[in-house]
Structure 1
């Protein structure tokens, strides 16, 4: 059986979703060829993927992040918003200033505010069992 080609892209957050995905990896690695990228590094894979999983909220004040997220939609047969930040904007939506230290990014939105999402898996973070399912 051919493995699913999956790209996981983290666009920011607490990293709990990444831990859930990594915890599930030993149980799914025979089915999935997983590539992990951090979008903040300004790198994006060139290939097409069976599935792209996005974790983190989209900072609407960062045009290069928005463009990269849009380019991911074109590369994905199936796109999954994974975790509360990607699904609803999560706790990042409340980063509007007044905290110490004051955050630079003030306008985080869910991934579906920028691109069409095929599946949303909420949770902070979703459990590794959800990844396996």
Structure 2
């Protein structure tokens, strides 16, 4: 009995490593994470492990942008928005930071699997 194992944090849109067509689902999911222009680059269309690296860097850049936005949010909005609006903006930045952290983990796991790592079930 063959069991395909995906670790905690694995994206639900991607089949577990070594499952039929798992790399196809990984490729489609990674492309969806990236800017639309990435679809036009032949190297990213042909080499899923290269796409995974680009996707990882893209997500990390988004995280850096969120961190900058969060650190500057109150000062940037001080003269143009009420304090409750600035609070809502901070909460939005925090929610986006949490979302991106989860996506970063997912992309990292997919990249590891594309590079040959396999995961074992834990009891």
Tell me if both proteins adopt one fold, taking TM over 0.5 as the criterion.
no
Between Structure 1 and Structure 2, the one with more helix by share is: 2
Q: Highest CA radius of gyration, 1 or 2?
A: 2
Bigger fraction of residues in strand: 1
Normalising by structure 1, we get a TM-score of 0.29
